[in-house]
Amino acid sequence: MTSGGDAAGMNPAVLCAAEQAAKSGMKPYLIYEGLRGLIDDEIYEATKERTKGMLYTGGTLLRSARSTRFFEEKYRQQAFDNLQKRNINKLIVIGGDGSFNALNQFYNDFQVPFAGIPATIDNDIPGTDYCLGVDTCQNMIRTSIDSIRDTANSFNRAFVIETMGRHCGYLAMTTALTCGAEICLVPEIPYDLDSIAKRLKNEVANGRKSLIAIAAEGVRMSDHLTRWINDTLNMDARLTVLGHIQRGGSPTVYDRIMAFKFATAAVESLKAGHTNKIMTFREGQIGTESIDYVAGQKPVVPELILDLCRSLSH
């Protein structure tokens, strides 16, 4: 099943998990509509017809839906009964920490073990350096920024570009660095507009005609920053909110490979009898962490990325 926000790489992970489970002698099923589908019995055998096209399609073909009903015990019982009548006794959930916590409650109620595959463009799940969908999202943002810079250079303009990320600035930081942005505002780094003004006024005086500023949605500064650039630097500034275009797109090679690695590890974890394990990727290696560890930690952006971005915030 897929749950939470959609991310490129979910579909290849579903495909690989179903194929690996079948090779291991299991009978794989697909749960549509996330937690809601678990309750409403949207559960079907993972046939070739149902998994066709998953390798190269973005988003999630199983679709996703949040469900407040899942917080009620009677509906979790209904979900368990739906699994029981098909003899389903193991689950793989592809999503974020909210989805993992929901399945952990389900395990506490009915002892149905699960393996979690981290998938969120925010890259904010503790315990893993990478989550499915991040690379595809970064490339969507990069393509957009590169195109916007063409216009910025053509008209001597400044553009503020808002990226997704909720309370995590990973997307903003990595794309600001790789696209050569002049400003980057994120929740993790205190910013100083006076210092930025001094730096950029000097560059404008020495011939700078355009600039790109990246603001993570979590700082809630996009509108203000656009006006600030216009008033402080006397430069025509425009705001572009990329929005949900960042979630879409055919998964990159990297996201497809990571989907295979995570899915294979999830099947192997369940075969080995593990319960409530989240697949992780750290220092180039696939591993696992307990749901308790993941739920008890805060996501951390690599220090090198933070260090490189500090000069863009001052």
- Look up residue 11 and give its two tokens: 């579909």
- Range list of H helices, the chain: 10-23, 34-40, 48-51, 73-84, 97-110, 134-155, 170-178, 193-205, 222-232, 253-271, 291-296, 303-310
Active site residue 122: yes
Closest by Cα among 255, 12, 13 to 115: 13
Evaluate whether 166 touches 124 at the Cβ level (below 8 Å): yes
Q: Which DSSP letter does residue 218 get? A: G
User: What is the rounded distance in angstroms from the CA atom of residue 39 to the CA atom of residue 31?
Assistant: 10
140-161 burial, b at 16+ Cβ within 10 Å, e below that, comes to bbeebbeebbeebeeeebbbbb
Q: How many residues belong to the chain?
A: 314
Catalytic residue among 6, 97, 122, 255: 122
Active site residue ranges: 122
